Structure 1
């Protein structure tokens, strides 16, 4: 998803936390990691120091949370030659020049969804397959994970549709199945798989996938596929 800037410094949040400097992983205590991640998912917006401390350490008293924040900042400042965090009066923000894979993937995904006809950047499907800090349990991550899930699902389906149009059916199927791996009952992703099979002339594969999805929906949710999906395969045989 692109090269790191600032002499090779990059912050990785997709699939797990890493701060990389010159190709080497920088060791940071968990509190410093949490601070960097908290600022990174805010799209460059500055955060009030007290608000940041309270969100990052909600179970601590205000003074203890503020002390934790100061200690985390100290570790972050020592981690790289160029500052990773800027500290305007009473606020904190991630240095704008620090590349973050999550931000880059979000921007690329929005571009793919919004700009018809443009190919996906190399490595985007792989980035979209990765969860945002999957092993973390912080409450402040929940809305960001929900946003990331919806953005990447829409992007993967858009990529798959363009690949179908281009005749790249295997790559289209891989993108669609990546979306299904994120949300196994998402109908639009399954419709994309069926569309890719039909574009290849594989009506039998399309029907088998429809039947598999119908059984999955019945087992998991007790519902049937939409009429839209049923019509998609109806001309190929009896669903």
Structure 2
């Protein structure tokens, strides 16, 4: 007798919650959705951990009952979704055959930049792939923040790879998406500034630096790191340019970045020294 194949389960957590079996969408109560989601994001966990996570305001006994009820409903309404071997008296797990979209995306993002292709569709997916929008439980918020950090790190990696290959427009596109996700991420601004400098667009580099610096000081009362200050000051010193297209000295485009005199005679060094001596 030929055994029937395992059902094909597909769980979507990005931009909404959906569970499908062999292509057919399943109706799942929110209580069971929460348990399935926890197992998808956190992996196999002890029952005591899951009951405390999902029912934090209940007593230990009530939380244990809530977990048992959820497991019973999943086993009867969604057979084979839970791992028969991994689901024991002390632990619970999803079946290994369950496909989870966020897991696939995270695995894909771990590939080296040189091996990736179809950049723009991937950037769009990184830009729009929100984890469970509208879910506000504390443990979900932690996972949402972790995933947002993963997305921005991946975009930085893509931008850095393209910068190393001389693909400045691709660098700008990826770094701008990262900045949209994390407006105060200096590494993304650095990559964008480096892309502008690589094309000789000092004015755009200065404008980007100025905007970032102003936002940092307004929000946190601090300025950019000394290494970023040195990068932009060095670019100004090396350029030898005095005027931008608007008729203003380039150094006036930056907060308190103006020519100073010193024994070094190096404008870049002078600018770095002046900024380093300033207080936020």
1:163-202 alignment to 2 at 5 Å? 163-202=162-201
What SS does the corresponding residue of 1:193 show, helix, strand or coil?
Answer: helix
Q: Give the CA deviation at 1:92.
A: 0.6
| 2:6 pairs with 1:9 | no
TM-score, normalization: structure 2? 0.71
Note the C-alpha offset of 1:182. Answer: 2.1
Tell me how far apart the structure 1 counterparts of residues 9 and 180 of structure 2 sit (CA, whole Å): 31
Aligned residue among 39, 56, 59 for 2:57: 59
1:1-37: per-residue Cα shift (whole Å, max 9, x none)? xxxxx76532122233222334443221111110011
Separation (CA, whole Å) in 2 of partners of 1:171 and 1:8: 37
Q: Which residue of 1 aligns with 2:34?
A: 34
Which residue number in structure 2 is paired with residue 93 of structure 1?
A: 93
Task: Check the 8 A contact 1:26/1:79 in 2, yes or no.
Answer: no
Provide closer, same or farther for how the CA distance between residues 27 and 195 of structure 1 changes in structure 2, counting only shifts above 3 A: farther
Aligned residue number for residue 125 of structure 1 = 123
In the aligned structure 2, how far is the partner of 1:145 from the partner of 1:164?
Answer: 29
State the Cα RMSD in Å: 2.6
Moved more, 176-185 or 32-41: 176-185
**Secondary structure of the equivalent of 1:148?**
helix
DSSP 3-state at the match of 1:19: strand
Query: What is the number of equivalent residue pairs in this alignment?
Result: 228
How far did residue 133 of structure 1 move? 2.0
Contact 1:28–1:75 at 8 Å: present in 2 too? Answer: no
Q: Give, in whole Å, the separation in 1 of the partners of 2:230 and 2:77.
A: 57
CA displacement 1:158-199 (0-9 Å, x = unmatched): 111112233443332232122212221111111111122223
Gaps of 5+ in 1: 1-5
1:134 Cα deviation from its structure 2 partner:
3.0
Residues 77, 128 of structure 1: alpha-carbon distance in 2 compared, 3 angstrom cutoff? farther
In 2: Cα distance, 1:61 partner to 1:15 partner: 33
Q: CA deviation at 1:142?
A: 4.1
Stretches of structure 2 lacking an aligned partner (at least 5 in a row): 1-5, 237-249, 255-280
C-alpha displacement at 1:120, in angstroms? Answer: 5.8
Higher RCO (CA-CA < 8 Å; seq separation 6+): 1
SS of residue in 1 equivalent to 2:99: coil
TM-score when normalising by structure 1: 0.81
Rg: which structure is higher?
Answer: 2
